[in-house]
């Protein structure tokens, strides 16, 4: 893997000639196709999500870094052309922007091949609010923060942070971006592979999350991390059980509306019977994987793609969009 990554670092441009076919499991629930399609400047066509003029909208992306290969470039172009029609206020980048071993510095060529040259559409020149994933933790995580000083659109003030934004025409939304890798024991124990985890204070972050949520009077509360609290996956079960023990009680008692994550490379919406929180897994923006339903699953799909979150005064809307521009699932939450 180190050899592969060193080769990738030396590549400043690539001709994209590879496509990937992923296995497909039946979805638990699907949304009927919308007849309204929008033709972009390119040949892309997509379903238009139903968002109000007063809504505040943002993209959710993660697990991107494939140097444009697989579906990454296609999805990036779709995001740009869709943003020509849907007003996107910002982009939440939930980790693993860089595979496989993170970045070495702010000057690492992977910033060009994984990010800058891929998400180059003018409509994507907006604020990106980023966090680290487990792959960033294989490299220099401080460089991911420091890149905020290099790129005007890359925003990552610290490992975890919060922002209060407009949550509609008259309401506010609290967005809490957290650092999940150090909250999971296996990464802390493998500090030869994930060296930056050893210096992170787990209890300090959990107390901060609790305090930040408790003190906010925002109408909407959305927490975002790289690792999911609930998901179907072949990845180690301890990842989810630890977050269920440590993070879920904080989310539930503070009336969080939704927890958004990535890491699994599939779309999932899970709401356990004992939960008031909707747990979403956003699929990969490049390489996706198979998925099947588990207890509490409302929807799942192996498609690659991204999400739109649309915030209105009395409603949250979630749209899962695949690489072909189809809205494969939508969900409304009102209060």
Task: Return per-residue pLDDT of the chain as tens, 335 residues.
Answer: 443 444 344 433 333 332 333 333 444 333 333 333 333 333 468 999 999 999 999 999 999 999 999 999 999 999 999 999 999 999 999 999 999 999 999 999 999 999 999 999 999 999 999 999 999 999 999 999 999 999 999 999 999 999 999 999 999 999 999 999 999 999 999 989 999 999 999 999 999 999 999 999 999 999 999 999 999 999 999 999 999 999 999 999 999 999 999 999 999 999 999 999 999 999 999 999 999 999 999 999 999 999 999 999 999 999 999 999 999 999 999 99
CA dist., res. 167 & res. 155, Å (int): 20
pLDDT value, residue 128: 98
| CA atoms in the 13 A half-sphere facing the CB of 212 | 22
Three-state DSSP class for 146? helix
Three-state DSSP class for 116? helix
Euclidean distance between the first and final Cα of the chain, in Å? 48
pLDDT value, residue 44: 60
pLDDT value, residue 45: 86
CA dist., res. 295 & res. 308, Å (int): 25
The CATH architecture to which 55-334 belongs is: 4-Layer Sandwich (3.60)
Three-state DSSP class for 254? coil
Q: What is the DSSP code string of 165-228?
A: EE-SSS-EEEEEE---GGGSHHHHHTTTTSGGGGG--HHHHHHHHHHHHHH---SEEEEE-SS-
pLDDT value, residue 13: 33
* Domain ranges for the chain: 55-334
Q: Is 95 left (phi over 0), alpha (psi -120 to 50) or beta?
A: left
Q: Are 91 and 59 in contact (CB under 8 A)?
A: yes
pLDDT value, residue 19: 31
pLDDT value, residue 40: 32
């Amino acid at each position: 893997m180190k050899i592969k990554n060193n080769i990738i670092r030396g590549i400043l441009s690539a001709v994209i000639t590879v496509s990937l076919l992923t296995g497909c499991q039946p979805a638990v629930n699907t949304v009927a196709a919308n007849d309204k399609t929008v033709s972009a400047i390119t040949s892309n066509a997509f379903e238009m999500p139903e968002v109000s003029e007063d809504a505040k909208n943002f993209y959710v992306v993660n697990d991107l870094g494939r140097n444009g290969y697989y579906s990454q470039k296609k999805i990036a172009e779709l995001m740009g052309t869709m943003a020509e029609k849907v007003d996107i206020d910002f982009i939440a980048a939930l980790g693993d922007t860089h595979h496989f071993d993170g970045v070495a510095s702010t000057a690492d060529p992977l910033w060009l091949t994984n990010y800058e040259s891929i998400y180059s559409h003018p409509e994507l020149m907006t604020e990106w609010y980023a966090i680290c994933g487990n792959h960033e933790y294989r490299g220099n995580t401080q460089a991911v923060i420091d890149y905020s000083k290099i790129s005007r659109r890359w925003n990552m003030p610290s490992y975890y942070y919060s922002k209060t934004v407009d949550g509609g025409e008259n309401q506010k939304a609290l967005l809490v971006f957290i650092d999940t890798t150090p909250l999971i024991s296996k990464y802390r124990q493998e500090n030869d592979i994930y060296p930056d985890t050893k210096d992170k204070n787990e209890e300090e972050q959990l107390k901060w999350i609790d305090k930040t949520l408790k003190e906010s009077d925002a109408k909407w509360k959305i927490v975002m991390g790289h690792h999911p609290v609930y998901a179907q996956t072949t990845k180690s079960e301890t990842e989810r059980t630890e977050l269920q023990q440590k993070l879920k009680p904080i989310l539930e008692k503070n009336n969080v509306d939704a927890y958004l994550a990535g890491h699994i490379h599939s779309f999932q919406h899970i709401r356990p019977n004992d939960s008031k929180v909707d747990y979403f897994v956003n699929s990969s923006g490049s390489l996706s994987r198979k998925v099947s339903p588990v207890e509490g699953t409302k929807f799942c799909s192996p498609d690659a793609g991204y999400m739109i979150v649309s915030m209105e005064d009395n409603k949250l809307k979630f749209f899962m969009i695949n690489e072909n521009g189809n809205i494969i699932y939508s969900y409304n939450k009102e209060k």
